[in-house]
Amino acid sequence: METVVELKMTRIELIRKLENIPEQPFLDDETLLGLINKLNSFETDEQLFEFLAMDSAKGMTWKDAVYQGIIIGMLIAEHYPM
């Protein structure tokens, strides 16, 4: 059975959220800037979703795999707030 979750945030909303987060011990400035640049590289939300669906074991750089994990984590946290 496949579960479909409606994503509540667009790439623009993700960027705004990242630009306004307080300093995080797990997210240094270089990673944060790289992540914002990665999100800015997508012209549409569909391109972002295609990136999130990529298999990190098939040709994705380790940085992209990190970015993918952070973005997915943000989307899950937005959908299932604590």
Q: Is residue 53 part of a domain?
A: yes
Q: Is the pLDDT of residue 78 over 70?
A: yes
Residue 34's domain comprises: 11-79
Instruction: Give the pLDDT of residue 7.
Output: 61
Q: Is residue 3 part of a domain?
A: no
Please, are residues 54 and 71 in contact by the beta-carbon 8 Å criterion?
A: no
Instruction: Give the pLDDT of residue 73.
Output: 84
Q: Is residue 61 part of a domain?
A: yes
Q: Is residue 6 part of a domain?
A: no
* pLDDT band at residue 1 using 50, 70 and 90 as cut-offs: very low
Q: Is the pLDDT of residue 25 over 70?
A: no
Alpha-carbon torsion angle 45, 19, 40, 64, nearest 10:
-90
Return the structure tokens found at 58: 């098939």
Weakest-pLDDT range from 23-27, 29-33, 69-73, 75-79: 23-27
Domain count, the chain: 1
Q: Is residue 5 part of a domain?
A: no
Q: Is the pLDDT of residue 77 over 70?
A: yes
Q: Is the pLDDT of residue 34 over 50?
A: yes
Q: Is residue 17 part of a domain?
A: yes
CA 25 – CA 78 distance, rounded (Å):
20
Q: Is residue 32 part of a domain?
A: yes
Q: Is residue 2 part of a domain?
A: no
Pick the closest to residue 11 from 40, 31, 54, 37 (CA basis): 40
